[in-house]
Chain A
Amino acid sequence: MGKTITEKILANASHRSEVCPGDLIWADIDVLFTHETVGPRVFAQSFEELGGKIWDPNKFAIFIDHYNLPSTIAHANVVKFTIEWAKSVGVKHFYNLCGPEHQVLIEEGFIRPGRVIIGTDSHTTTGGALGAFATGIGSTDCAFSLATGKIWLRVPTSLRINWEGTLPQGVMAKDVALRMIGTIGHGGATYKACEFAGPLIDNMSIDGRIVLSNMAVEMGAKNGIINPDEKTNQYLKTMIDAPITSIQSDEDADYEKEYYFNGDDLEPLVALPHSVDNVKTISEVEGIQIDGILIGTCTGGRYEDMEAAAHILRGKKIHPDTYAIVIPASRKIYEKMLLKGLLNIFLKAGCIVTYATCGPCAGHLGGLMANNEVRVSAQNRNFKGRSGSSTSKIYLASPLTCAASALKGELTDPRKYL
């Protein structure tokens, strides 16, 4: 019996010839990262108790992305504490105000095929898009791994999610992700590895694949992985100067279950409040009044997303009763938007373009939602109270659907503007 890519990576990381689903292993970590909200402020003492020495400073990164720029003194104090802690323990890879960690880790070459990537954020699954085993943990586990370089893992069973066909105009990777979440359910892949495959995935850009892996955790998945291919290698070559490991699932690998989807007749989709799997087609919900939109974050703020949204907003104005917040997923994306004239398009359309940050998505700052406020967002979660008031409502959609909705002040099918 063959092995899945996830099983192969975990076998290598635990120095075994092979592993099987259910095995408990100690894996070596290739990259460990944390951020200010759940990082040293929570685990500094535990880390100190274990000796306070980073096992390998080359393999640890820390980000200040969730609380930047701070809007309250409490947040500012956490940011300051994190900066001082990083200095005191000799953190080598420190990223302040560079953008959400998941995108910056990719741009800085940390994410590579075959690596074990562990981070204190559920969306760590993002790294699977480049063929890494990437999964989230909490603060205490991070203190443990920071001192030891190791993590216990239970080898997951794998789900293979096959996509045939090609995406019609106006349909994006976000819609692909929402279709899977709507079918498999919010808890449907809990404890499992999700492997995305098939011609549609092969033809998808890396920016698009990143969205799928990012949102794998919204089905409860342990990781959301895509077998690396020539496209992955070409993408990585632009940022790293090292041999790239080739690692693939075997043809006869064992999957707990296989799903089959076809992109040919996929429509733009929307996840209704307050659940990521409450998914409808845009035609079923078009016309719902909104207060504003958000394009950005670690899910919907890559250059391809910005380009798509700008295509719709070019030369137009957003609805006068609507706001539009645009948040690039990294400083590098921000720079590219500036160079390519996208900032101009957004600004002239009446959008607010902020610095690269997690923004209001996780409910910390920069555009929190009022009571009963309604927003269409390219972010990843629409839980009750996620981005502010518990009576606010978030509709999850693609950057194209967000942009079109901003023009009309209501949920709008983006295909009308293409």
Chain B
Amino acid sequence: MLKRIKGKAWKFGDNINTDLICPGPLMRLPIDQIGQAAMAGIDPDFHTKISKGDIIVAGENFGSGSSRELAPLALKKAGIEAIVAKYYARIFYRNCIALGFPIIECEEAIDKIVERDELEINVSMGKIMNITQNEEYRGTEYPKEFQEIFNAGGIIPWIKKRGIDTLRD
């Protein structure tokens, strides 16, 4: 089962694209240092301000643009443990599933959460608790196929556990 995630909310607007999440010029950083690029297109010091477990709360179309998996990877390596948004750009959404990086779609949460609110997320139930405001929001539940991949920690551990041969004809 997925663990509970507890941390501060960092709020962003609509259409936060991958050039803002992980700017092209910083993609040359070694992968183990890519956390320094997290949100650098908006705030180059973002990675120094957050604590492990913090949560990004954003509007529509989060992660639009490039296919670069370095974008979710940068957020993950910087210490972000979940994202809540109205909806995600397609490849960003896929990348998070592949990486086992928890993301939730929830309109209500976006409108109500204020920057730095303390949140607790139960990913498998799609539940977001706002500890600061004493509220609870319900996000979209994943299809059970995605749940399985999340529970395994991403698509690589998922297929390793299941066996590659199970996919072959």
Contacts of A137 in B (CB 8 A): 67, 91, 94-95, 98
CB–CB A363/B25 < 8 A: yes
**Per-residue 0/1 for B49-87: is the Cβ within 8 Å of any A Cβ (1 yes, 0 no)?**
000000000001100111111101100000000000001
Q: Which of B25, B69, B98 contacts A364 (CB 8 A)?
A: B25
Chain A, interface SS category: loop
B4 vs chain A, min Cβ distance (A): 24
Instruction: List A residues 72-87 near B (Cβ within 8 Å).
Output: 72, 74-75, 78
Contact call A222/B95, Cβ cutoff below 8 A: no
Judge whether B154 is part of the interface by a CB distance below 8 angstroms. yes
- Interface residue stretch chosen among A293-301, A347-355, A379-387: A379-387
User: CB distance A138 to B19 under 8 Å?
Assistant: no
Residues of chain A from 174 to 194 with CB closer than 8 A to chain B in the complex:
186-187, 190-191
B156 touches A72 (CB 8 A): no
Nearest-neighbour CB distance to chain B for A394, whole angstroms, equals 11
The answer to whether residues A144 and B156 also contact, given A38-B70, A138-B69, A150-B167 and a CB cut-off of 8 A, is yes
A222 touches B90 (CB 8 A): yes
Asked whether B156 lies within 8 Å of A50 as measured between CB atoms, the reply is yes
* Contact flag A50-B20 (CB < 8 Å), given A137-B67, A138-B91, A148-B167: no
Q: B3 at interface (Cβ–Cβ under 8 A)?
A: no
CB-based contact A220/B68 at 8 Å? no
Residues of B within 8 A of A363 (CB): 19, 23-25, 27
| A122→B15 contact, CB < 8 A | no
Q: Is B36 an interface residue (CB 8 A)?
A: no
Question: Which A residues lie within 8 Å of B65 (CB)?
Answer: 122, 381, 383
A24-B69 in contact (CB<8A): no
Return the chain A residue nearest B154 by Cβ: A140
Residues in A with CB closer than 8 Å to B95 are 137-141
Which B residues form the contact surface with A (CB < 8 A)? Answer: 14-15, 17, 19-20, 23-25, 27-31, 41, 60-61, 64-70, 72-73, 87, 89-91, 94-95, 98-99, 143, 145, 154-156, 159-160, 164, 167-169
